[in-house]
Amino acid sequence: MIEILDVIGVFVFAISGVLTAINKKLDLFGVFIIAFVTAVGGGTLRDVLIGRMPVGWMQNLDYVYIIIVGYLTALFFRNYLNKLRVSLFLFDTIGLGIYTLIGIEKGLEYGLHPIICIALGTITASFGGLIRDILCNEIPLLLRKGTIYATICIFGGIQFFILRKLGLESSINELVTSLTIISVRLAAVRYNWSLPVVSIKN
C-alpha cells in the first residue's frame, strides 16, 4: 500500500508544481524545476534529517521518471487543468494526505519516536510546497493566514498512532489516515476553518 501511495504522491505533487509554475508564466525548464522540488523537496529534507544518504530520489530513479510523467501530463492537459479553479488545490491536498504517511512510515523504519515520526510526516508533506511557493514568490501556503495545512498533517499523524496502538491493520490504517487528512483539508477550506491569529494589543 505505501509503495502505491508513494507513486501517487510524487505524481500529484509534480502536477501541483507544474500548475503553480504555469500560473507564474515560467519557461519549460523553470516549470520542471518547480515540479521537481515540489515532488521531492520535503522527502529530500526528511532524508537529510534522518541521515539517509544518498537521498531517496538519488537511490531510486523511478521518482525522477514519475516526476517527468507528471510534468508531461500536466503540460499536455494544462489548458483543461487551468480551467478548473480547484485543480491545484486538489492535487496539493491529495499529496498532503499521502506524503504525511510516507514520512511517518520512514520514521518508523528508522525506529524513531512517534513524535519524531509525525514531525517527519509533516515535513515530507508540506516542505515541498513551501519550497515551491518561495521559488514562485508566493507567501507559502504553510504560513498563510486563514489556512490549516501542516496542522492537519500533525492531526493525521496522531490519528495514525492511535489506530496503530488499537491494532488496526497497517495498510488499512494508512488508507484511513490518508483519507482523513484529505477530508479534513477539504472541509477546512469549504467551511473556512483556521487557527487563531496571534496579535499584540496596542
Residue 191 confidence (pLDDT):
86
The predicted model gives 42-67 an average pLDDT of 95
Q: Enter the pTM of the model.
A: 0.88
DSSP secondary structure letter of residue 195: P
AA letter at 147 = T
The predicted model gives 139-146 an average pLDDT of 76
Q: What is the mean pLDDT of the chain?
A: 89
What contacts 158, CB < 8 A, 6 or more positions away? 118
Displacement of CA 60 from its chain's centroid (Å)? 19
Residue 202 confidence (pLDDT):
65
The predicted model gives 130-137 an average pLDDT of 93
Helices (H) and strands (E) in the chain, counts: 9, 0
Residue 26 has pLDDT above 90, yes or no: yes
Sign, CA torsion 53/67/18/88: negative
User: Residue 85: which pLDDT band, with cuts at 50, 70 and 90?
Assistant: low
pLDDT digits (tens, 9 = 90+) for 1-25: 677 888 888 998 899 899 889 989 9
Residue 139 confidence (pLDDT):
84
Q: Which three cell numbers stand for residue 90?
A: 486538489
Q: Which three cell numbers stand for residue 7?
A: 507513486
The predicted model gives 30-59 an average pLDDT of 95
Residue 124 confidence (pLDDT):
95
User: Residue 36: which pLDDT band, with cuts at 50, 70 and 90?
Assistant: very high
Taking the C-alpha atoms of residue 16 and residue 25, their distance in angstroms, rounded to an integer, is 14
User: What's the CA dihedral at 130, 131, 134, 139 to 10 degrees?
Assistant: -10
| Residues, the chain | 202
pLDDT digits (tens, 9 = 90+) for 105-114: 999 999 999 9
DSSP secondary structure letter of residue 188: H
Q: Are 55 and 61 in contact (CB under 8 A)?
A: no
pLDDT digits (tens, 9 = 90+) for 154-190: 999 999 999 999 999 998 999 999 999 999 999 988 8
Residue 41 confidence (pLDDT):
95
